[in-house]
Chains A and B, each alone.
Chain A
Amino acid sequence: MAEITLRQALQKGLSEAIENDPDVFIMGEDIGAYGGAYAITSGFLEKYGPDRIKDTPISEAGFIGAGIGSAAAGLKPIVELMSISFSLVGFDQIVNMAANIRYMSGGQINVPMVIRAPTGAGMQLGATHSQSFETWLCEVPGLKVVAPSNPKDALGLLRSSIKDPNPVIFAESAGLYGTKGDVPEEYFDIEIGKADIKQEGTDITLISYGHGMPMINKVSEELSKKNVSSEIIDLRSLSPIDYDLINKSVQKTGRALLLDTARKNGGVMAEVATNINEDSGDYLDGPILRVGSEDVPWPYNRKLEQHAMSSVPKIMNKIEQGYSL
């Protein structure tokens, strides 16, 4: 075990993919000479050369599409977006090409491609740079969507994403790049579609993903002060979602608090709530509770932005009201 940052975990996963598989290459805006907007590929160009580390023009539709074509031709591109907010410019390529092409070709063409993109608010970047469109992409069959919350999961999910024969959206919480955690030295990977119980408990199931997890951990600490025992689930994979694990947990605890990191309206947790309602409704001791960001465009002002985001007091308040805990 070694303690490394989530950024270092991604660097490790990307480096080994480049070194082990000649079909893997990385492309995106400013990933080469500049070293990456969030320094994930810092030093890569010098080490691996311009064929493997391709700087692109600012043409998201162009280079996402080129990634898809190269994947359809059998390469394994890893495309980095500077922000998942910029995925909108290439959405047609992601949805109509990457996701649909296998189905509409009757299964003839695969797109073994990873699109990595920083996501999430909290850095005062305003409305256009703070959004979390990984939730939109969960609606699209043909795509897989993952969102790690810690260095170990980031490495394990990155390995699985690169190996996966389908297009995978790899949503990286920008606020977590510096988060430290233990990562095993020996090889491991994490199956896409498997959630993880981060903490076992008996009274309430707390579910989130990505940068929702640090908040959930604090909520659990607050609850334990009140002698409430929390089971914590990290979804890790937003599409597909591990409903089996979720329902088993909720059937044990009888309560569920779901935290979206994106805006609440249309969030992934709406799907989770519906599924719990259908499959575990008889086990519930009260309503399923859901917290997400406010349904407003992201503001620049720090006080307003923080107010738009979920917080430990908001979640505690919800739990106190919903379950009288």
Chain B
Amino acid sequence: MNKEDYLNLYRKMYLIRLFEESCGENYSKGFIRGFLHLYIGQEAVAVGSIDSLEDKDFIVTHYRDHGHAIARGLSTDGLMAELFGKETGVSKGKGGSMHLFDSDKNFMGGHAIVGAQMPLAAGFALASQYRKDDAVTMVYFGDGATNQGTFHETMNLASVWKLPMIFFLENNFYGMGTSVERIRSNGKSFSNLAEGYGIPSTVVDGMDVIAVKETTKEVVDKVRKGNGPALIEATTFRFQGHSMADPAKYRESSEVDEWRKKDPLESFPEYIISKNIASKDEINDVKKSVEDEMDAAVKFATESNEPDLESLSKDVYL
């Protein structure tokens, strides 16, 4: 990794952080409606893991999807416009926060039924295997989704067919307001779930972007070589509530404070500077450019048009 690589990882994490803060602000102002689930705190997971993928690889994710979309390089103009419900949005204002798509970037959603994205992801992996094109599929899900039948059905299917897919568990320790301890039959560990299906698994610190990147790269390489599926569990934390409607009364503020000490937006730039990889000025230059990009995205979203009413019945059938 050279300086540009480090700064690029930081840039993407900071872009997600600012994007999410801007979403929160514009939600309060009423420009963004519906359910809004922010990714603040989990930035290192999406950025580190997606950095290890190739353009031909497929990404399928859950409803807390802004971070993955930005990490994949979807335009912040198109993303913010989607949240504003505008016709210039990535899904033409028809998807909203939970249903972000960009098929040109093999970014296949944004899926809002917990766990439902996993069978779909197996299908993308199956298509890659069928065509022998060496692409892999990365499917993201939270700890809550591990209790859905689709998770277990897909692990079995992927294992028995040796599908080139990576099950990427973002364990933020809460399924909405219910902590993992309260609903998991077998303690906190998830690795035993994969073992039962003959799928190798790895646990990584999801607050450490370099660790996530390196672990993912190693796993993706193995999966790409035809060794069958793998599971990565990244331990992480969302600093805010489940959605904008959630005051997060089910957890102690001390728990949040402990995790905030590991905030990758603090620790990673400190690391870059302390190792003399880049200077504080260079970090500030990145910050400035991200802030400019976000200002432009909000302006773009604000000034874009609403979809015309005729578009209501378009895009149902081809």
Interface residues of A, Cβ cutoff 8 Å to B: 25, 51, 54, 56-57, 59, 61-75, 77, 92-93, 96-97, 101-110, 141-142, 144, 165-166
Q: Are A72 and B123 in contact (CB under 8 A)?
A: yes
The answer to whether residues A109 and B116 also contact, given A73-B128, A74-B127 and a CB cut-off of 8 A, is: no
Q: Are A57 and B120 in contact (CB under 8 A)?
A: no
- Contact partner of B113 (CB less than 8 A), chosen from A66, A96, A105, A166, is A96
Q: Are B127 and A73 in contact (CB under 8 A)?
A: yes
From residue 57 to 112 of chain B, which have CB atoms closer than 8 A to chain A? 58, 60, 89-95, 99, 101-103, 108-111
Q: Are B116 and A96 in contact (CB under 8 A)?
A: yes
Asked if B200 lies at the interface with its beta carbon under 8 angstroms from chain A, I say no
A51 contacts across to B, CB distance below 8 A:
130
Once bound together, how far apart are the Cα atoms of A141 and B156, in whole Å?
Answer: 31
From residue 4 to 29 of chain B, which have CB atoms closer than 8 A to chain A? none
The answer to whether residues A104 and B103 also contact, given A70-B127, A72-B124 and a CB cut-off of 8 A, is: no
B60 contacts across to A, CB distance below 8 A:
69
A61 shortest CB reach to chain B, Å: 5
Q: Are A67 and B123 in contact (CB under 8 A)?
A: yes
Q: Please list 30 pairs of residues, one from A and one from B, whose beta carbons are closer than 8 Å in the complex, sorted by A's number.
A: A25-B130, A54-B161, A56-B157, A57-B157, A59-B156, A62-B154, A62-B157, A65-B118, A65-B123, A65-B150, A66-B126, A69-B60, A69-B119, A69-B123, A69-B126, A71-B123, A74-B127, A75-B127, A92-B113, A92-B116, A96-B113, A97-B111, A102-B317, A102-B318, A105-B99, A106-B89, A106-B93, A107-B314, A109-B103, A166-B317
From residue 108 to 141 of chain B, which have CB atoms closer than 8 A to chain A? 108-111, 113, 116, 118-128, 130
A141 contacts across to B, CB distance below 8 A:
316
A240: nearest residue on chain B (CB-CB)?
B317
Knowing that A62-B156, A73-B58, A142-B316 touch, tell me 10 more A-B residue pairs with CB under 8 angstroms. Answer: A62-B122, A68-B120, A93-B120, A96-B113, A101-B109, A104-B110, A105-B95, A106-B315, A107-B92, A109-B101
Q: Are A105 and B126 in contact (CB under 8 A)?
A: no
Asked if B34 lies at the interface with its beta carbon under 8 angstroms from chain A, I say no
B111 shortest CB reach to chain A, Å: 8
Asked if B177 lies at the interface with its beta carbon under 8 angstroms from chain A, I say no
A164 shortest CB reach to chain B, Å: 9
A-B pairs with lowest CB-CB distance, top 4: A69-B123, A65-B119, A62-B153, A106-B92
Once bound together, how far apart are the Cα atoms of A128 and B122, in whole Å?
Answer: 28
Q: Are A68 and B119 in contact (CB under 8 A)?
A: yes
Q: Are A64 and B119 in contact (CB under 8 A)?
A: yes
Once bound together, how far apart are the Cα atoms of A42 and B149, in whole Å?
Answer: 30
Q: Which of A25, A75, A142, A144 has the most CB of B within 10 A?
A: A75
B109 contacts across to A, CB distance below 8 A:
101, 104-105, 109
A59 contacts across to B, CB distance below 8 A:
153, 156-157
- Contact partner of A65 (CB less than 8 A), chosen from B93, B95, B154, is B154
B110 contacts across to A, CB distance below 8 A:
104
Once bound together, how far apart are the Cα atoms of A142 and B317, in whole Å?
Answer: 6
Q: Are B95 and A93 in contact (CB under 8 A)?
A: no
Asked if B160 lies at the interface with its beta carbon under 8 angstroms from chain A, I say yes
Q: Are B127 and A106 in contact (CB under 8 A)?
A: no
Q: Are A66 and B119 in contact (CB under 8 A)?
A: yes
Q: Are B118 and A103 in contact (CB under 8 A)?
A: no
Q: Are A103 and B120 in contact (CB under 8 A)?
A: no
B106 shortest CB reach to chain A, Å: 9
A65 contacts across to B, CB distance below 8 A:
116, 118-120, 122-123, 150, 154
B2 shortest CB reach to chain A, Å: 34
Q: Are B92 and A73 in contact (CB under 8 A)?
A: no
Once bound together, how far apart are the Cα atoms of A72 and B318, in whole Å?
Answer: 13
The answer to whether residues A105 and B123 also contact, given A51-B130, A72-B108 and a CB cut-off of 8 A, is: no
A70 contacts across to B, CB distance below 8 A:
123-124, 126-127, 130
A290 shortest CB reach to chain B, Å: 28
- Contact partner of A62 (CB less than 8 A), chosen from B102, B125, B150, B314, is B150
B111 contacts across to A, CB distance below 8 A:
97
Once bound together, how far apart are the Cα atoms of A102 and B313, in whole Å?
Answer: 12
Q: Are B127 and A69 in contact (CB under 8 A)?
A: yes
Q: Are B119 and A104 in contact (CB under 8 A)?
A: no
B318 contacts across to A, CB distance below 8 A:
102, 107, 110, 165-166
